[in-house]
A and B are shown apart, each in its own frame.
Chain A
Amino acid sequence: MRVVSAPSDKFGTFVTPSDPIRSGRRKRCIMLDATITTLTGGTEATYVAAAAGIALRRKKDGQVVNAEADTDWAGLLIRVRDRRDREAFAALFRHFAPRVKGFLMKSGAGATLAEECAQDVMATLWQKAHLFDPTRASVATWVFTIARNRRIDALRRARRAEPEDLPWGPEPEPDQAEVLEAHQETAQLGRALASLPEPQRVLIERAFYGDLSHSEIAAETGLPLGTIKSRIRLALEKLRQQMT
């Protein structure tokens, strides 16, 4: 593997174009925080992350992953919804499609099937954009629910009845504070997941990849779900009031 010296050497780190993720994760994270603009020898991925304002985050084991922290995915999806904006869709695709594919492969799908299903999930995102309510769920959460349902069909898992749909109806101009809250919760949850003790995190992952039966699932996740629950609960109350 060729190691390329870059101006960022002064931070005691290096960048390897051939393997941008594996090397120097922790160090690049610090670097980005410190002085992204002086980084001239970075990989394309680093530039894209910087341009999109995506914060890189450190997992407990030293890995760094992209966070949704600063990218307004909900805003992009609303552009898809209202204006059929293909550029916004492409940005969503680049972020979510590889993650959906990764999720499906972890769930036991082969690469070909996972690729096909990830494309289906992204097409569904476009087709059902009008059903997305950004005050109720982050884009990541919504993508997960679509991927979960696609997985049931693709891997012939047990049929899953859906709860009665609420006449929720996304508002044309959602409350930005609420949208931001839903969005930040996913990022916070991601950080909380990453900082869980390894065995606990692995159990949660295995549950969501479909590796565990319901009796093997631990009730206690150690995740801060209380605030999310309270916010959704309040939104439901508001909705019920409007319905009566």
Chain B
Amino acid sequence: MSIRHHLSDQLLMAYAAAGLPEAFSLVIATHVSLCDDCRARLESFDAVGGALVDIGDEAAMGADALAAVLARIERPVAPMVTPTRRAPGVFPTPLQDYVGGDLAAVRWRRVGGGVKQAILPTDKDASVRLLYIPAGTAVPDHGHRGLELTLVLQGAFADDSDTFARGDVEIADEEVEHTPVALAGADCICLAATDAPLRFRGLIPRLAQPLLRI
């Protein structure tokens, strides 16, 4: 099934400009790895960067700069490290790079109700985690304070408005108050990034929140 929920122009441009927190960049890179449509849109924003460099102000280089670079490229260099493409799996390459492997390499922690999560190491401006939601299970009802991106990697979930399957990304902001439920079939695995802690509506989850670091 083809991807129906895509990244916004705003996010793609911010990513092209390298203006996103690390956690969001990982979700964008992972989605783009799965979605040629967003890849093409992203590369058109790269072209904006190219045009800006091209028409931008010049700053004179040092008098010996060209000679220095020519001398430098003369010297043999270490073999070029080209980006390695990992074996195809549930996770595209950029995510495998963060996890250190595919699904089997994830070190899950139980959250309760069969839900598991794994927080991935990034800088602190935002956080990103893998979520494992057993088929048919509801994710606790929650709203959002900041921006939240949820990318489906396996299975599917549905909320009040729509269904999200592999490759689909849900962009949720403060307006969204929803109850996602993993659909029957395969257990649902998502990559979710947020720049604010999720806020659960029930009392118990809210008390547990600091402990769970979610």
- Please name all residues of chain B whose beta carbon is closer than 8 Å to the beta carbon of A159 when the two chains form the complex: 22, 25, 122-123
A22 to B168, CA, bound (A): 51
Q: Does A78 interact with chain B (Cβ within 8 Å)?
A: no
- Please name all residues of chain B whose beta carbon is closer than 8 Å to the beta carbon of A148 when the two chains form the complex: 17-18, 49
- Please name all residues of chain B whose beta carbon is closer than 8 Å to the beta carbon of A167 when the two chains form the complex: 85
Q: Which residue of B lies closest to A210 (CB)?
A: B19
| Given A141-B51, A158-B21, 14 further pairs, Cβ under 8 A | A97-B66, A103-B56, A119-B65, A141-B43, A162-B83, A163-B94, A164-B93, A164-B94, A189-B50, A210-B17, A218-B10, A220-B9, A230-B40, A232-B44
Q: Does A31 interact with chain B (Cβ within 8 Å)?
A: no
Q: A123-B73, A141-B50, A148-B49 are in contact. Are A160 and B22 (CB under 8 A)?
A: yes
A230 to B17, CA, bound (A): 21
Q: Does B48 interact with chain A (Cβ within 8 Å)?
A: yes
Q: Would A137 and B10 count as touching, CB distance under 8 A?
A: no
Chain B interface size band reads 35 or more
Q: Would B147 and A215 count as touching, CB distance under 8 A?
A: yes
Q: Would A214 and B10 count as touching, CB distance under 8 A?
A: yes
Q: Which residue of B lies closest to A212 (CB)?
A: B19
Q: Does A3 interact with chain B (Cβ within 8 Å)?
A: no
Q: Count residues of chain A with CB under 8 A from any CB of chain B.
A: 88
Q: Would B59 and A105 count as touching, CB distance under 8 A?
A: yes
A189 to B46, CA, bound (A): 11
Q: A140-B50, A159-B22, A162-B83 are in contact. Are A86 and B70 (CB under 8 A)?
A: yes
Segment 25-70 of B: residues with Cβ below 8 Å from A: 25-26, 28-30, 32-33, 36-37, 39-62, 65-66, 68-70
- Please name all residues of chain A whose beta carbon is closer than 8 Å to the beta carbon of B65 when the two chains form the complex: 93, 97, 115, 118-119
